[in-house]
Homo-oligomer: A and B are copies of this chain.
Amino acid sequence: MQHDSTKPGRRQFIRRATTVTAGLAAAPLLASADIGSELAGEIGPNILGPRPGFSPQIGTLISMLDWMRNVVYGSVRNLSTAQLDYLHDEKSNSIGAMLLHLAATERYYQLHTFDGLKWDTWSEALKKQWDVPMKLGPEARTAIRGHSLDYYLNTLKEVRATTLQELGKRDDKWLMAVDKDWFWGPTNAYCKWFHVCEHESNHNGQIKWIVGRLPGARTTKD
């Protein structure tokens, strides 16, 4: 495998592959809590699909959540507090706020799908903790500042541990059950949790865009 190929498509692909490789390379440092199980280590993080001890589709979902999270870790590793606080323009969210937003989203989907709470009926204490990162925007721009990367990663890990624990108690029948009253139309739990997963990629795209524009950043395609 030559990494110095001059073919444009190859160069491009390697750049993309390297981005993801960086994410996966970060895994050993974080493996105990973020992957949340030894399963990924045994099977391999890039082997998506059923996981032993879980219903087939629940295990597949977990493999995707793990994989996606590692990609996000790859985008933010080694960022300083100043970089995590950086605001690109008056509309921008900081990378730190977006990381906390991912944790908030996952926490609210836990409360909704695991605890059966109707959206936004959580306790005032929970709202106080999570509404600012959930909303992003002006309040988050001033309130979410000054934290190190570890603060954000630890928060994400803590929330993820609950997700894995709760998914482990459930089966594919639960995952396929349809909520007919969901905002955007009849939706099963699989779709809600897939949204939690792809939503990390959505913000990862924005995180990479901002990383490429941090003061002193090198040229990037994002």
The CA of A44 and the CA of B175, in the complex, are separated in Å by 15
Distance between A35 CB and nearest chain B CB, rounded to angstroms = 14
By a CB distance below 8 angstroms, the chain B residues around A24 are 184-185
The CA of A14 and the CA of B209, in the complex, are separated in Å by 25
The CA of A67 and the CA of B178, in the complex, are separated in Å by 16
Contact B46 A127 (CB under 8 A): no
Interface string of A157-196 (1 = CB under 8 A from B): 0000000000000000001101001111111101100110
Contact A68 B135 (CB under 8 A): no
Contact A13 B201 (CB under 8 A): no
By a CB distance below 8 angstroms, the chain B residues around A203 are 205
Say yes or no: is A83 at the interface (Cβ < 8 Å to chain B): no
Contact A184 B20 (CB under 8 A): yes
Contact A47 B127 (CB under 8 A): no
The CA of A120 and the CA of B9, in the complex, are separated in Å by 6
Q: Which A residues, 180 to 222, have Cβ-Cβ distances below 8 Å to chain B?
A: 181-188, 190-191, 194-195, 197-199, 201-206, 208-209, 212-213, 219-222
**Which single member of B93, B119, B201, B209 contacts A198 (CB below 8 Å)?**
B201
Say yes or no: is A154 at the interface (Cβ < 8 Å to chain B): no
Distance between A28 CB and nearest chain B CB, rounded to angstroms = 12
By a CB distance below 8 angstroms, the chain B residues around A188 are 46-49
The CA of A191 and the CA of B71, in the complex, are separated in Å by 13
Distance between A42 CB and nearest chain B CB, rounded to angstroms = 12
Closest to A198 in B: B201
Contact A47 B186 (CB under 8 A): yes
By a CB distance below 8 angstroms, the chain B residues around A49 are 57, 175-176, 188, 190
6 A-B pairs with the lowest CB-CB distances in the bound complex, closest first:
A205-B205, A202-B205, A17-B183, A46-B187, A201-B201, A10-B120
